[in-house]
Amino acid sequence: MVCCQRARKIYYQTLEGSRCLLADERDKKKLLDILFAIEKEEEWLVYAFCLTDDCAYLVIEANGISSVRKGVLHAASEFLDRYCADLAHPRRRQVFLRNGITKELASMGEIAAQCRRIHRLPLEKGYVSRLGDYWWSSYITYAGDYEWKMVDCRIFSLYFSADPEIARQRLLQFHQ
């Protein structure tokens, strides 16, 4: 019997939260830990991410949209269970984290543009004045300043150059 394997696809995914849900850096770290555990379970490849005070943005490769939706719902549920454990009951109703946009990215140009867009969010939202100063984004891995181990940078080597250093320089220019 021959098993049919689903083709892996690349998706842009958001997790939308209540206002300032992720403003505390410890909460950003909790959500990332959960997402990276799910990354292993669902066999995702994370190409880019950015966490803001109320949203998580991801570019991931997965075995279909059902894997993405299942993983994101699991992450939201687990995060809210941890986050709300200490909240008084009335405030609990005001806290949410839910699946936002799920969009399949069809070309390398689309993937690169979406990664650029989410990496530039901290600048556009006024969190930092330099992209490399924002900790909660995969941009610092691409820039070579910090290695988020779950971020797979190889896709941009193919897009910008086969030489990793040239690819990094072109990526940094692309983000300006």
Mean pLDDT score across all residues of the chain: 87
Closest-CA residue to 46 (of 137, 165, 161, 113) = 137
Q: Residues near 101 by Cβ (< 8 Å), separated by ≥ 6?
A: 12, 13, 14
Indicate whether 72 pLDDT > 50.
Answer: yes
Domains of the chain: 9-174 (3.30.70.1290)
pTM over 0.75: yes
Q: How would residue 86 be classed by pLDDT, with cut points 50, 70 and 90?
A: low
Tokens at residue 81, please? 């269970």
Indicate whether 4 pLDDT > 50.
Answer: no
* b/e burial code for range 99-133 (CB count within 10 A of at least 16 → b): bbeeeebeeeeebbebbebbbbbbbeeebeeebbe
Range in 81-90, 109-118, 147-156 with the lowest mean pLDDT: 81-90
Indicate whether 110 pLDDT > 70.
Answer: yes
Q: Are the CB atoms for 85 and 30 separated by under 8 Å?
A: no
Q: What is the pLDDT of residue 2?
A: 40
Structure confidence by residue, pLDDT tens digits, 21-37: 888 899 899 999 999 99
